[in-house]
Amino acid sequence: MQESIVAQKKRNRPIAITDVAIEKVPRTHIFGFTNEQNQFIQEMHREVLRVAKELCEKYKSNSMEAVILLDSHTWDSWIIKGKKDRIVDIKNNPKAKEVLDTSTKNSLLLLHNHPSTGTFSARDLRTFCNNDSLYIMTVVGNDGSVYVLMKNVGFDPSAVLEEYGRLAEQFEKQGCKYNATEAIKYMLKNAEKYNMSYKKGRKKI
């Protein structure tokens, strides 16, 4: 018998993207954006899952990922598709790479899916910190759940990465097997301390 979605989530395994999951993606309420803009972001989250679903079907794997880069001024968008090894490399779309590297500070949104439905990873945090053009990063799980991370006034990328390294080392010394995950979890829980805003789903940010 096929393992249930609930069981797969508990084991942090990739789950299949369904049309139901795509339809139930919630509308985010991000401060500074109009209702129409938040609705557009919702539709882009659905598009991320649609693209990822096509990739999963193509490669016969539930682990495929997709990214949409979004300009908050023009609302132009660029899609970056993961390859067979799942990893999404923005270099796969040269124009998107150029936009990420040359856009003004805090002008872009990066939307991507997580097959296991989890929140932000250490790799996500590094991407978020290492690109000044990124203002907001979101994760949409294969089950339709949405997480949002936003830079606030006073955000210091170097300090955030330094704190992440310190926490990961601290958890490792404490014998924590998943020290990187625990470090990220702590920082998201205390996001305001690091001049970030973090939320899940429909809550306002």
* Mean pLDDT, residues 124-133: 98
Instruction: Please state, rounded to an integer, the average pLDDT across all residues of the chain.
Output: 92
Does the pLDDT of residue 4 top 60, yes or no?
no
Residue 50 forms beta bridges with which residues?
none
- In this predicted structure, the answer to whether residue 5 has a pLDDT above a threshold of 90 is no
Q: Cα(185)–Cα(182) distance, rounded to whole angstroms?
A: 5
pLDDT tens digits, residue range 9-52?
444 689 999 999 999 999 999 999 999 999 999 999 999 999 99
CA dihedral angle for residue 148, residue 152, residue 154, residue 155, rounded to 10 degrees: 20
How confident is the model over 83-127, as pLDDT tens digits? 876 679 999 999 999 999 999 999 999 999 999 889 999 999 999
pLDDT for position 154: 98
* Average pLDDT rounded to a whole number, residues 68-77: 98
Of 139, 137, 145, 110, which is closest to residue 196 (Cα–Cα)? 137
* Residue of 152 and 2 predicted with greater confidence: 152
Q: Which residues of 62-76 are buried (b: 16+ CB within 10 A; e: fewer)?
A: bbbbbbbbbbbeeee
pLDDT one-digit tens code per residue, 173-187: 999 999 999 999 999
**How far from chain centre, in Å, is Cα 133?**
15
Query: What distances in angstroms separate CA 158 from CA 32, 131, 162, one per listed residue?
Result: 25, 11, 6
CB atoms within 10 A of CB 46: 17
Do residues 56 and 16 make contact, with C-beta atoms less than 8 angstroms apart?
yes
CA–CA gap between residue 40 and residue 187 (Å, rounded):
28
Q: Rounded to whole angstroms, how far apart are CA atoms 71 and 135?
A: 10
Provide mean pLDDT across the span 72-85. 93
Q: If pLDDT is split at 50, 70 and 90, which confidence band does 67 have? A: very high
- How far apart CA 139 and CA 28 sit, in angstroms, is 12
| Domains of the chain by start residue, with CATH | 5-151 (3.40.140)
Can you give the pLDDT at residue 87? 76
> How many angstroms separate the Cα of 119 from the Cα of each of 22, 102, 199?
17, 27, 10
pTM of the model: 0.92
> What pLDDT score does 6 carry?
44
* Angle, helix 157-173 to helix 122-130, in steps of 10 degrees: 160
